[in-house]
């Protein structure tokens, strides 16, 4: 049975940093199964590394009362359905070539980008205007 991995916040001047936790040691990220909170998990295609959220994205989602976790799960599982076709093709290639992966989602908080570094050391959640 998979566990739900809640996000635990750490802050600095520019980002809110999160570590996924659960049955794994603190500071590690689930790369195969990420729980959905309903007793079942989903497969992920790549490790997320350290997950950070920009202040603008954090504020927008807090104001909208929406959770970031479902979008992060979609990104990691390859659900890029809202990402333009060229970017989807780039993401598929990036999985094989070790390049950066970017997802775009349209949320009640506005347009959201999720970017995973080429070395898979970090994933950033941000609003496009923060780039």
User: Would you list the DSSP string of 51-105?
Assistant: EEE-HHHHHHHHHHT--SHHHHHHHHHT--TTS-HHHHHHHHHHHHHT--EEEEE
pTM, full prediction? 0.70
Which position has the higher pLDDT, 17 or 121?
121
CA distance 40 to 80: 21
Of 17-21, 54-58, 83-87, 108-112, which gets the smallest average pLDDT? 17-21
How many CB atoms neighbour CB 83 within 10 A? 20
CA neighbours within 13 Å on the CB side: how many for 122? 10
Is residue 50 within 8 Å of residue 120, measured between CB atoms? no
For 13-69, the pLDDT digits (tens) are 344 444 444 333 333 333 334 333 333 445 789 999 999 999 999 999 999 999 999
């Amino acid at each position: 049975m998979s566990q739900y991995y809640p996000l635990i916040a750490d802050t600095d001047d520019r980002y809110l940093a999160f570590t996924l936790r659960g049955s794994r040691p603190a500071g590690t990220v689930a790369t195969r199964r990420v729980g959905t909170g309903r007793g079942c998990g989903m497969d992920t295609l790549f490790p997320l590394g350290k997950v950070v959220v920009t202040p603008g994205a954090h504020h927008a989602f807090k104001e909208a009362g929406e959770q970031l976790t479902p979008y992060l799960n979609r990104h990691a599982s390859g659900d890029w359905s809202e990402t333009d076709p060229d970017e989807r093709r780039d993401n598929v290639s990036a999985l094989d070539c070790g390049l950066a992966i970017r997802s775009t989602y349209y949320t009640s908080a506005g347009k959201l980008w999720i970017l995973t570094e080429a070395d898979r050391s970090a994933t950033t959640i941000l609003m496009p205007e923060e780039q």
